[in-house]
Amino acid sequence: MNYLRLVWAFFRIGVMSEAAYRINFFIQLFQSLLELAMSLAGLAVIFSYTNSLGGWSPDEVLALVGVYFLIGGIIGLVIQPGMEQLIEDVREGTLDFTLTKPEDAQLLVSLRQVDIWRLVDIVMGFGVLAAALLRLGAHVGTSQAAAFGIMLLAGAVIIYSFWLILATLSFWFVRVENILEIFQSMYEAGRWPISLYPGWLRFALTFIVPVAFAVTVPTEALTGRLSGTTLLGAVALSVVLLAVSRLIWLRGLRQYSGASA
């Protein structure tokens, strides 16, 4: 309960600090619409030459684009801002202020920074997803919807743990913000079904940078392509990664000496 209050408080602070810069909302809206237009135009060109991409129909790929926006929005909303702040705090030695607070420090660093305008991407992602499902005429049963929800959550947890591990590396190496950039360019590859890629790239996008679990797998759950094994595997991986990231975080904290403070 306490945690939920914290989440709400951080969110409110995010809204209040951004409310003064309402023009940022329109800039974000413009950028998100542009990104969406780019995706749709790209699909239009490609599907003017074929009606199936690696076994995926146009509307299924559209659903994938929706999930891509959704997860991208979640990353931009809370994961990326928090982790970037963490890296900077470790370098500047200002993490002290967070560590002295009477709440779990991992929770605080993960939630305190919210880029509220990225909600635009989340709303847009849901919109695209809804449109794709309507066009698919798919009867999304309760089991499929539940599988989708679970996979989306597992995907978000996997991505969060992955970012936390990378950001925690800053306790040992000072310059790691570049590593986060790698994630951004790899995430772009998640725009397309992972099954398209040759084995080595699919492996990299699944286990080295877990983009597949974030975008392709939830979409598969929704379009009824997902096997029970993948579902269990994704859940297991999310639990393991969360535990590992927690362990690395705790070790990293021991390393922290408040450099310049």
Partner 1 sequence: MSGLRDLYAQQFKTTFAAMLQYRASLVIWMIGHVLEPLVYLIVWSTVSTTGGGSVGDYTTRDFAAYFLVIMLVNHVTYTWIMYEYEYRVREGNLSFALLRPVHPIHADIADNVSSKLITLPFMLLIAFILALIFRPTFAIVPWAAAAFLPALLLAFLLRYLIEWTLALTAFWTTRVGAVNQTYFVAMLFLSGQMAPLSLFPMPIKIAATILPFRWMVSFPVELFLGQLTPVEAAEGILAQVLWVGIAFVLLRIVWRAGVRVYSAVGA
Stretch that binds partner 1, among 76-84, 95-103, 144-152, 178-186 (CB under 8 A): 178-186
Integer Cα distance of 187 and 183 in angstroms: 6
27 binds partner 1 (CB under 8 A): yes
Which of 196, 231, 242, 244 touches partner 1 by CB under 8 A? Answer: 196
Residue whose CB is less far from partner 1, 13 or 196: 196
Three-class secondary structure of residue 53 per DSSP? strand
- Count of residues binding partner 1 (CB under 8 A)? 32
Quickly count: other Cβ atoms within 10 Å of residue 233's Cβ.
Answer: 14
Residues 6+ away with beta carbon under 8 Å from 168: 86, 245, 248, 249, 252
Tell the smallest beta-carbon distance from residue 183 to partner 1 (Å): 10
Distance in angstroms between the alpha carbons of the first and the last residue of the chain = 33
192 binds partner 1 (CB under 8 A): yes
Tell the smallest beta-carbon distance from residue 155 to partner 1 (Å): 20
Tell the smallest beta-carbon distance from residue 150 to partner 1 (Å): 28
Tell the smallest beta-carbon distance from residue 186 to partner 1 (Å): 7
DSSP state of 208: I
Residue whose CB is less far from partner 1, 92 or 96: 92
Quickly count: other Cβ atoms within 10 Å of residue 225's Cβ.
Answer: 16
Tell the smallest beta-carbon distance from residue 81 to partner 1 (Å): 15
Stretch that binds partner 1, among 8-16, 74-82, 109-117, 186-194 (CB under 8 A): 186-194
Q: Is 197 exposed, middle or buried (0-12, 13-18, 19+ CB in 10 A)?
A: middle
x/- string (CB under 8 A) for partner 1, residues 33-62?
-xx-xx--xx--xx-xxx-xxx--------
Residues 6+ away with beta carbon under 8 Å from 171: 90, 252, 253, 255, 256
Tell the smallest beta-carbon distance from residue 119 to partner 1 (Å): 17
- Angstrom CA distances, 112 to 47, 77, 135, 247, stand at 42, 11, 39, 21
Quickly count: other Cβ atoms within 10 Å of residue 13's Cβ.
Answer: 14
Residue whose CB is less far from partner 1, 123 or 196: 196
Residues that bind partner 1 (CB under 8 A): 24, 27, 30-31, 34-35, 37-38, 41-42, 45-46, 48-50, 52-54, 175, 178, 181-182, 185-186, 188-189, 191-192, 196-198, 201
